[in-house]
Amino acid sequence: MSTDTLAAAAVRGRWAIAAIFFVNGFVTGSWAPQIPVFLHRLEITETTLGLLILLFGAGAVSAMVWAGHLIPRYGSRAVTSLFAISCCFGLLLVALAPNVWTAAIAMYVFGGTIGATDVSMNANAVTVEKKLGRAIMSSSHGFWSLGGFVGGGLGGIAIQAWGHLAHAAIVSVVATVIVAAALGKIVTDLPVADEHRKFVLPRTPGVYIIGLMALLCMNSEGAVLDWGALYLRQELGTGIATAGFAFGAFAGAMALMRFLGDGVRNRFGAVAAFRTSALVAAAGMLVAGLAPWPWLVIAAFAVSGLGIANIVPILFSAAGNQAGTSPGAGMSVVTTMGYSGILLAPSVIGFVGERTGFAPIFVAISGLMLAVMLASGMTGTADQPARGDAPLQPS
Q: Which residues of the chain have pLDDT under 70?
A: 1-4, 6, 190-205, 320-331, 341-344, 346, 380-395
CA 188, 194, 198, 200 torsion: positive or negative?
A: negative
- Rounded-to-integer distance, Cα 88 and Cα 199, Å: 27
Q: Are 160 and 241 in contact (CB under 8 A)?
A: yes
CA 384 centroid distance within chain: 23
CA distances from 365 to 3, 170, 288 (A): 48, 34, 10
- Rounded-to-integer distance, Cα 259 and Cα 267, Å: 14
- The whole-number pLDDT of residue 50 equals 80
- Please give, one letter per residue, the 3-state secondary structure of the chain: CCHHHHHHHHHHHHHHHHHHHHHHHHHHHHHCCHHHHHHHHCCCCHHHHHHHHHHHHHHHHHHHHHHHHHHHHHCHHHHHHHHHHHHCCHHHHHHHCCCHHHHHHHHHHHHHHHHHHHHHHHHHHHHHHHHHCCCCHHHHHHHHHHHHHHHHHHHHHHHHHHCHHHHHHHHHHHHHHHHHHHHHHCCCCCCCCHHHCCCCCCCCHHHHHHHHHHHHHHHHHHHHHHHHHHHHHHHCCCCHHHHCHHHHHHHHHHHHHHHHHHHHHHHHCHHHHHHHHHHHHHHHHHHHHHCCCHHHHHHHHHHHHHHHHHHHHHHHHHHHCCCCCCHHHHHHHHHHHHHHHHHCHHHHHHHHHHHHCCHHHHHHHHHHHHHHHCCHHHHHHHHCCCCCCCCCCCC
CA distances from 219 to 52, 61, 294, 317, 338 (A): 17, 14, 22, 19, 8
Q: What are the pLDDT digits (tens) for 216-262?
A: 888 777 788 777 877 887 777 777 777 777 777 887 888 888 888 77
Q: Are 220 and 362 in contact (CB under 8 A)?
A: no
pTM for this predicted structure: 0.74
- The whole-number pLDDT of residue 391 equals 47
- For 25-51, give one letter per residue: b (16+ CB within 10 A) or e: bbbbbbbbbbbbbbbeebebebebbbb
Q: What are phi and psi of 99, to 5 degrees?
A: -150, 180
Look at residues 152, 149, 154, 131 and name the one whose alpha carbon lies nearest to residue 9: 131
CA angle 91, 96, 100 (to 5 degrees): 100
- Rounded-to-integer distance, Cα 344 and Cα 351, Å: 12
